[in-house]
Structure 1
Amino acid sequence: MTQDGRRRGRDETEEERADRMWGELIQEVRVAQTGVQILFGFLLTVVFQPKYERLATPDQVIYIVTVVLGSCATGALIGPVSLHRLVAGRRVKPQAVRLASRLTFVGLVLLLVTMTSALLLILRVATHDGYVPYLVAGVVAWYLACWYGLPLWARRKHTTRPED
């Protein structure tokens, strides 16, 4: 306990911490998985629409890149589930949590790029206007602020340092 009588941090073993962090990570992954799976499912249907064949070549390239990115994001965000299943009971949960956390971060970056690419494609097809890159840049700035800027700011502002 600190001098003022309040406990700081958690009193947990490495295994208990890994269990807690795994539960938190899986809850986060569930949210991201739902979004990426809905987006990816939608993207898979686009190629079968009659209008797809009339798209300009650059738009078809953007579509293909978007589908590949969505597939990669899906793989990265489902990866922690497979990782857990394959190492369960092997007494490597702390290491598995770190790997799954990194895989989830990669999946979120891929999801960001997928959503950016999908938005670019949709706005190009919908408007055919020169302001589309500026709209997309504005939305990407918003994503970056919400997904990375605010969390990093909060981490920096509210993280306590262990006392000597």
Structure 2
Amino acid sequence: MAADGSTSGRCETEEERADRKWADLIQEVRVAQTGVQILFGFLLTVVFTPRFAQLENADRVIYIVTVVLGASATGALIGPVSFHRLVSGLHIKPQTVRWASRLTFIGLLLLLLTMTAALLLVLRVATHDSFVPYLVCAVLAWYFLCWFALPCWARVRFARHRHK
């Protein structure tokens, strides 16, 4: 039994657990931040290319939505670092981890939408084919499966076995 009375399988205090969870979360955020920042940086340069002026109105709208989603994802995924820095030393690490985790989850959702919108824009401009929405939906389903469905399935399945 843990120091707080829970049966986590680890003998750690609430503060030690918060430290461990924070380290795990920051590693996860580093991976997501790198991807979203590269994608966002690329999106910012698109408007300055000669081809941008030739985009149809619908493609410009998709581009604007994609840039806003990318900026929002970047903000959410950098948020945990700022949050931690601003509350550091206040002895609220468990609460900080919870809020940072929520920001990271929101950031992942926004990244999912950014990548989907960017894929839609690129495929529309590159192909002008009617199969583009179907292909984008298939990739979106794949993202959803990898990022959310499989982890949720594992969480339910293995949590149920752990309590037996």
Residue 9 of structure 1, CA deviation: 1.2
Is residue 95 of structure 2 the alignment partner of residue 92 of structure 1?
no
C-alpha distance in structure 1 between counterparts of 2:8 and 2:61, whole Å: 53
Partner of 2:43: 43
How far apart in 2 are the matches of 1:99 and 1:40?
A: 24
Distance of 1:133 and 1:73 partners within structure 2: 23
Mapped to 1, the partners of 2:134 and 2:59 lie a distance apart of 17
Are residues 1:14 and 2:14 paired?
A: yes
Opposite residue 47 of structure 2, the aligned amino acid is V
- Structure 1 segments, 4+ long, off by >6 Å, are none
How does 1:61-76 map onto structure 2 within 5 Å? 61-76=61-76
Is 2:113 the partner of 1:113?
yes
Cα RMSD for the two superposed structures: 1.2
Distance in 2 (alpha carbons) for counterparts of 1:37 and 1:8:
35
2:32 maps to what in 1? 32
Residue 111 of structure 1 aligns with an amino acid whose one-letter code is L
Aligned equivalent of 1:77: 77
1:8-28 superposed Cα distances (whole Å, 9 cap, x missing partner):
611110000000000000000
Q: How many residues are aligned here? A: 157
Counterpart AA for 2:119: L
SS in 2 for 1:12: coil
* Secondary structure of the corresponding residue to residue 90 of structure 1: coil
Which residue does the alignment assign to 2:145?
A: 145
State how far apart, in whole Å, the 1-side matches of 2:120 and 2:110 are.
Answer: 15
The letter of the residue matching 1:78 is: I
Displacement after TM superposition at 1:122 (Å): 0.2
Q: CA deviation digits over 1:122-162, x for unaligned, max 9?
A: 0000000000000000000000000001101111111222x
Give me the TM-score of the superposition, normalised by structure 1. Answer: 0.93
Superimposed CA distance per residue, residues 28-62 of structure 1 (whole angstroms, 9 cap, x where no aligned partner): 00000000000000000000000000000000000
| Identity over aligned pairs, percent | 71
2:113 is the alignment partner of 1:127: no
Q: Does 1:103 align with 2:103?
A: yes
Structure 1: which 5+ residue stretches go unaligned? 2-6
2:4 corresponds to: none
In structure 2, runs of 5+ residues without a counterpart are 2-6
1: CA distance between counterparts of 2:137 and 2:91? 45
